[in-house]
Structure 1
Amino acid sequence: MAWLLLSAASPLPAEDSACPDWAPGDAREAVARLQERLDAWDDAYYRRGERLVSDGVYDAAKRRQRHWRRCFDLSPDAPLSSTRPRDGALLAHPLPQTGLHKAESRQAMGDWLEARQDQALWIQPKVDGVAISLIYEAGALSRVISRGDGRHGQDWTTHARRIPAIPGRLQDAPDRVILQGELYLRRPGHVQARDGTAGARADMIGLMARKQLSAEDGERIGLFVWDWPDAPDSTSGDMAARLEQLAGWGFDTRDHTLAVKGMAEVTEWRQRWYRHALPFATDGIVVRQAQRPPPASWQAKPPDWAIAWKHPATRSLALVTSIEFTVGRTGRITPVAHLSPVELDDRHVSRVSLGSLGRWQELDVRPGDQVLITLAGLTIPYLERVVLAAEPRRNVEVPRQEEYHELSCIELVDGCQAQFLARLVWLSRTLGMKGIGEGAWQTLMEGGQVSGLLDWSSLGSATLRTLPGVADARARQWHAAFQASRERSPALWLEALGMPSVPRDALHERGDFAGLDRLRQRSEQEWQTWPGIGPSRAAQLSRFFRHPGMHLLLQRLVAMRVLTR
């Protein structure tokens, strides 16, 4: 299965493993600002059902908050009051809603499984809805309570009685049955990788917040029971028996609760539920031990006998560690943000292009900023915006765009390392020099053998053997590649040196190569007589052939009998 192979990535390095070099006051300020943002996200999520940022961004922010607190020995804040419902009557859950720890990487998930090799494990989709507790007494539904803070929640019993997915009675049930599950909006054919959550949880909370729930809206709501805490066999681990009984009562849990053994099966189901149709939105998978401690010992905090592994994040919050400005072959300057590693779609991202100087200036990205990273077209990392700007702003040394253009850096001088190297890589690729890539050119440049675009053409095998790491076989291979390039056509050589693209006929007269002198003499108007060459391209061609430094290179090609005068 091709989609399974995509997930076989190496473990992600611990994000932000190095502590920031901050004074204590600056550290407290940074942690406080991040906490304020997390508070706002939590308040919107728990009170209004609004997901202001994706799970990947939220989880990354929480990890960074914990890391910084450990770095600077800052005690964690008390739990947010916003996580507890503020409106309506509050009821105590008969058993706590425990919540779940999240595996922050493939490695973390594997470690959790490795520690439970002797346990029977079951996997379920992590349904994206609202958690509830259901209490049945003498077989009749008596209470439905929203999750709230895990200990207390709102009374949703009235609405629940208008939801057909919640049975009013259980046949042949024990005197008391406590179920925990998720109310969700029915979405037949929902594919998480394609459709995302699309506000599923917010819409669900919106329905339950209405004073009255219509019969039509009740039909739109499904229920996924993910646990029966007080089942007679709840500590013995007979999950199959529990599922059989739940199915007999009308709960559709069995089809999406499956026994698993090991990382390969967990990964397979996570990918399958992410990329294939389900009747609800999901945000990951949950793996549970069939055998758990007695429910009386449960607390309103994540236990160690269950864990969630979110779907591959397509957005995350990343910390910018530095800004690099690369200069390409044509002189284009591209800012690149280097990041503390983040995971997007199960791939590790540690750098992202900002496209252009103008876009970098618009975003004003600086080291220390926390930025929103997403995948453009689900493949290319893209920096969307700055979420939290570092204070104070750090200075960044920016190259001057006017110093770089399509004819700059044809020699290796100060400030030209990147563009000169890019020119050499383009030259060897265009001329088909086998075995000559960026590494070879770096070796030649660092060895002082190449400071002009054609210096390599006069190097012999004996000189090449003096370079670090270049033995006889490699020296002979490089020399052969250099010599073979002399057989390439004049058109390819001009393209290799950076001549703007032209129709092949534009370089010929009466069927033969026009010659260097004739091409240099052409006016911009003459260049425009060929199809596809407009005023801008004509001006570029004129500059190329008349540029003094380029002219010297072209004369050298005449001496090498690659071009004719």
Structure 2
Amino acid sequence: MSREQATARIEELRSIIKKHDYSYYVLDQPTISDYEYDQLMQELIALEAEYPDLITPDSPTQRIGGTVLEGFEKVAHRNPMLSLANAFGPEDLRDFDRRVKSLVAGEAFEYVVELKIDGLAVSLIYENGVFVRGATRGDGEVGEDITANLKTIKALPLILSKPLTMEVRGEAYLPKREFERINQEREQAGEPLFANPRNAAAGSLRQLDPRIVGKRNLSIFTYAIGSIEGETIPTHSQGLDLLHELGFKVNPERRVLPDIEAVIEFVQSWTGEQRAALPYEIDGIVIKVNQTHLYPRLGTTAKSPRWAIAYKFAAEQAETILRDIIVNVGRTGAVTPTAILDPVRLAGTTVSRATLHNEDRIRELDVMLGDTVVVQKAGDIIPEIVRVVTEKRTGAERPFFMPAHCPECNAELVRLEGEVALRCINPQCPAHNREGIIHFVSRDAMNIDGLGEQIVTQLFENGLVRDPADLYYLTMDNLLPLERMGKKSAQNLLDSIEKSKSNSVERLIFGLGIRFVGEKAAKLLADHFDTLDGLMQASVEELVTVPEIGPKMAESVKEYFEQETAQRVIEKLRQAGVNFRYQRPAVIATEDSPFLGKTFVLTGTLASMDRKEAGRLIEQRGGKVTGSVSKNTDYLVAGEKAGSKLDKARELGVEVLDEATLLQWLESQQ
């Protein structure tokens, strides 16, 4: 094939593939088989490989990049991405309506209602019709550049049907079927499951490898035009129609309604089976004034527009039958009861288990085996039993009693003074050891990739490990007989175990599972004592001199290191070459750094990063992060839903920073 022929065929293939992508991913109306589609894509890939200078950014082959990103750059939004105020009932919506009418007295207007997609809000920038950048919402002012990851979403057009320069707002999401598929794969691989489709979508788009994102089959609905050059859009509904015309996927379940009572009727129609039947998750309804020329008059608050509101659904509940209660022994010996339920669909997932917390909660609920119970997801994440439907009891129900002995080792269970939970205090309990190893390899501890719960269980059941230190003595011959363990997977696991030896010692301290010592306390102890040996030799009196380490934690640390079993494990870790020293992060602060020598406390929810990442960045720039507000605190960084720490900071006169200020300070020290 000549170059001219190749050029013509490449253009033809791109056009054909784009039409099929639109039919399949936007209209949900596939026109060819997967096999035929793959053949077209393979032909295009081969031709572009032969003529790489003919590759263009909008080619379908460029949706999945081959380069792993080093990190996400921060980008400022052209217009702020404001969050919406929430309504939780009809009266909240009527109050919203009264406020709108008072601000635009005498003006006629309508409402547009749209489903509130449960995903990740993104900003999409197009220049002359070509997609050039995509970013997360972040704090509304500054987000993260995730262009490469967004390009993997086939419902997102890389080139528009008109050469417009515009910003488009959308919600990237994971369809229910893809969520279930991914969790099945993660379960088989022994990896932790995603809690819900929203978390899975957000986690996917923050992957540094676009190839991983591409395998997750995310989709996107666009819901607004942030800005557009050379066009005037008189109503929001016309803007949605224009987005559809340009090739975007726009949710079809939208309506223009004349008044708030019609809005309330629409909202209430989506709280039952109709919501459950959708192929994607929604967590509410968005209501907007349709006439865009009224937006300047309505204005905004510091965080939210006054011309829009989000009606949030109450936590979804369902009835099911409690068939059994099993007890599990955790790494600290706490025995936790778990309800086994008839499977029931709830908030987008099938629930067959629910936590009962402890024996007191079972008595409080008066729950019995065979009861009909009401289950909900706390925060739409953790299944829990809310109440028993006592009127449906038949007399066949049976009371449940917590066991007197450990289900794993048969040691007598005890309830320690001041505690609710029953505990197994046998240090040789296999459940202790197994759960302790699962904790040891977790991401926040030693971070050993590939060692999920299923593989740890296999290692334990085959007698290959009895404590965390045994992991460092595994060989290829040990691993290959395990289920679903090939030579490459085994080598990757051994490499990951070897890599973990060089972790800074605070990860090891946390991974040891010392009672009351969390991730933050482990870091404080490592920073103060410098080495694991220094910590082991510390007295209780020395331990309590460390800021935020109280007597209860100090006693626990001292008791742990006095145990012969702990000393044996630590000596095995030492012989294996595991690092015992604290590796202080390199400080990049300048002399005029606002962080240098200052003590920060973080509270509330940050939009652009989690608090752990924010703390790491502050410390990297010379600051110190503590968990509680005191007279020694210099700054409190307050995110959304800041609670008692904010009140205490104001009471003590501590300066309060918002997230935008923190980001400005961080960027000034890059």
TM-score greater than 0.5 by the shorter chain: no
Q: Which interval holds the TM-score relative to the shorter structure?
A: 0.3 to 0.5
Q: Which has the higher contact order (CA 8 A, sep 6+)?
A: 1
